[in-house]
Amino acid sequence: MELEKPKILIVDDNPGNIDFLIELLSDYDVSAVIDGRSALEMIHEEKPDLILLDINMPGLNGYETCKLIKASPKTEDIPIIFLSGKTDTESIITGFDAGGVDYITKPYRPKEVLVRVQTQLKLKEAIEALEKMANEDPLTGIANRRRFFERANIMLSTAKVTQKPYYVFVFDLDKFKIINDTYGHDVGDEVIKMFVQIVNDNIDDDDCFARMGGDEFILVMIGVDKDTARKKIDLIRKGIASVRSIAGIPLQFATSIGAAMLAPGDKKLEMIIKRADEKLYKVKALKNGTS
C-alpha cells in the first residue's frame, strides 16, 4: 500500500516562485494559490500538513493570513513557514509573533528549503504521535479516560447552555476475567475490540465513546431524545448478542449497562457518572443473584 504524501500548500502571488517550489517539492502533494483569501478557503476544504506563506501579497498579507489561520481551532495546528525577501530582525520576529514556525528568505536556496520543510513535517508527525498516545486507548483507538473527560465536559457545558438532553451510559463486560482466564489475554483483547466495533457501528460522530480501563467503557450522547438513545443502546445489545465466535473460537459475551441523564442539580460530570455507575452495579447484582 502506497503511503500518502504529505500535503503542502504554497501561498504566493508570484507564479515564478510557485513554479520553482512545486518543482523543488515534487516528492510531496503540492497545491498553490495566489492570495490569502484563497488559502483560507482551500484549507477548510482540504487541510494541508504544511503551509509555505509569502508575506508580501495584495489584499491580505502573509502575517494577516497566518493570524486568521491560527485563530480557527480547525486549522491552528497547521505549521506555517513564511517566505520573504526581507531579512531584517523585525520582519522575522513579526512572522513568529503571527504564528509562523520558520522563515525562508529569498532568493531561495534549494537545499535549505528542503531541509526546513522536512524538519517541520517531521515535527508535526512527532507531535501528532504524542497527542495520539495522550488521547487514545492503544488497543482500540477510541478515546481514553483523559480525552473522555476533556470532551465530555465540553459537551456537558453545551448541554447546560442549550438545554439539550445529555445521557451517560457506562458499560462493563460480564465475566470478562473468566474469558481471560479461560482463553487467554489475546482472546480477551479480541473481545474488547469486537465490543468497541459494535458500539462504534451504532453511534454517531457527535457521541463520545471511551475506554475507562480494563473492560469498563463509557458513552455520552447529547441532543437526542430518549427514544433515539434507547434505539442506539438496543442496537448495541443486538450486535453483541449476534456474536457467535471471536478469533476463530466459539465464544459469546455480554455487557451490563448503567444509564443516567443530566439533572437540574448536576454541577459536575462526575455526579451523572456516579448515578450511572449505581445503576450498573444494580444490573450486575441482579445478574449475579446478589441483590
Active site residues: 215
Nearest one of 219, 194, 79, 70 to 140, comparing CA atoms: 194
Q: Which of 229, 273, 234, 271 is nearest to 255 (CA)?
A: 234
Query: Is residue 80 within 8 Å of 100, Cβ to Cβ?
Result: yes
CB 8 within 8 A of CB 49: yes
Spatial separation of the C-alpha atoms in residues 92 and 165, rounded to whole Å? 50
Residue with cell 449475579: 288
Indicate the DSSP class of residue 88.
S
Identify the CA nearest to 5 among candidates 32, 24, 27. Answer: 27
Q: 147 and 136 in contact (C-beta within 8 Å)?
A: yes
Q: Establish whether the linkage from the previous residue to 6 is cis, with ω within 30° of 0.
A: no
Could you give the dihedral angle defined by the CA atoms of residues 241, 246, 250 and 252, in that order, rounded to the nearest 10 degrees? -30
Q: What is the largest CA-CA distance in the chain?
A: 79
Concatenated DSSP letters of 225-268: -HHHHHHHHHHHHHHHHT--EETTEE----EEEEEEE--TT--S
